[in-house]
Amino acid sequence: MGKLKGKTAIVGIGEVPTGRYHERAAIVCAIESCRQAILDAGIKKDEIDFIIPTGSMYSSPYNTEMCTSRIVEELGLARKSTANFQVFSGGSSTGNILKTAAGLIATGLAKNVLCVHSDKLATGISAQGGIDLFSTAGISAEWEVPFGMHYSAIAALTMQRFMFETGTTAEQLASVCVSNRKWAELNPNAMHRKPITVEEVMASKMLSEPLHAKESNMLADGGSAFIITSAERARDLTDKPVYLLGEGSLVTHHVFSQDTDLTRLGFVEAGQAAYKEAGLTPEDMDIAELYDSYAVYQLIALEALGLCGRGESGEYVQSGHTWPGGELPMTTNGGMLSQGHTGAGGSFAILVETVRQLMGKAGERQVPGARFAIETSTGGTYMDSHAAIFGNIIP
């Protein structure tokens, strides 16, 4: 048995709708998500002893407030909670928060940890501000920023390399957007719910060859939260705790050009570690909740995690296997391509959706009989790869 397998479980989740909300403050997203998570967990708010907010990118002052215990005070937990601290690593923040929170629980340093995120990337900053942010955040200021590197270029370079190595077609990459949108159509919290076709994706504006605009994530306002506790306490709170069964991660680079395998990143090693700790295999996974800031990264994860053979992921998605009713439901909230990209909250939302599915609370998009799910996150210029396996039973 691994160090964390089956020792902790998520018992409550909360989330506000993602989109463009000019009048809704980021703190409202955070507090409402926390309120929902506390109610969902069935605990008293005074039982929360640790709060871990992740980073907010739209506003430095707001981010500082989250670091310096505003959530504690807003929830009326001053002199009750014992700690408030931030864990932030861009899109991989959820993977690192999960490990941190589970470690605190497993070692007895905490009883109930509330993890929360909120951001306003759609309306809290200008369009140019968003462009400037994602032309520099996590990109080497010495070796890449001066030469015009930005995230659309990074995604495009990855797509070109992946297509070259695997034979994946542009249409197959576009089909990832269709798969995600089919799930978003069923998600009332998603920003974009209108059906989309491969042809529409291919006809959208070219951002950076071969990346089309509709293959790019959509910046949004939003927030989400989850509560993690011990497995013993979880069984007293809910009939379907969602246990952390295995996790793995690997840092592969800081400067994008220095990664030696851009079409696998660190997901091979992260996945192997997670499967080993969980005592499960790719064939056991009922759902794949995969980080999707751009379409290509879901295909990379499908193959690197052993869910598809090398060069098979594009055809697999295009054939409908990851759509609603398919054999391997993938990114069932619509992901950042359709639900919306809220900074570190993109991976938060994917983790919350993982728990929602395994608790049987996903409504129209519920995957019948789901027991095990693999969830991923990655941050910066895809500098680190995280894989976690969850289940509503302990194998």
Least confident of 49-63, 89-103, 141-155: 141-155
pLDDT band at 129 (very low <50, low <70, confident <90, very high): confident
* pLDDT of 361 above 60: yes
**Rounded average pLDDT over 200-219:** 95
**Rounded average pLDDT over 345-366:** 97
* pLDDT of 113 above 70: yes
Residue 193 to residue 176: CA distance in whole angstroms: 15
Residue 342 to residue 209: CA distance in whole angstroms: 25
pLDDT band at 136 (very low <50, low <70, confident <90, very high): confident
User: Which position has the token pair 């993977």?
Assistant: 95
Question: Which pLDDT tens digit goes with each residue over 34-83?
Answer: 999 999 999 999 999 999 999 999 999 999 999 999 999 999 999 998 99
* The pLDDT of residue 137: 87
φ and ψ at residue 125, rounded to 5 degrees: -135, 160
Beta bridge partner(s), residue 289: 375
- Contact, 260 vs 25, CB < 8 A? no
* pLDDT of 2 above 70: no
Domains and CATH numbers, the chain: 8-125+223-237 (3.40.47.10), 139-215+243-391 (3.40.47.10)
User: Which position has the token pair 């608790």?
Assistant: 359
**Rounded average pLDDT over 77-92:** 95
Percentage of the chain with pLDDT > 70? 99
**Rounded average pLDDT over 158-167:** 98
* pLDDT of 220 above 80: yes
* The pLDDT of residue 1: 42
**Rounded average pLDDT over 168-189:** 98
Question: Which pLDDT tens digit goes with each residue over 250-261?
Answer: 999 999 999 999
Greatest extent of the chain over all pairs of C-alpha atoms, in Å: 59
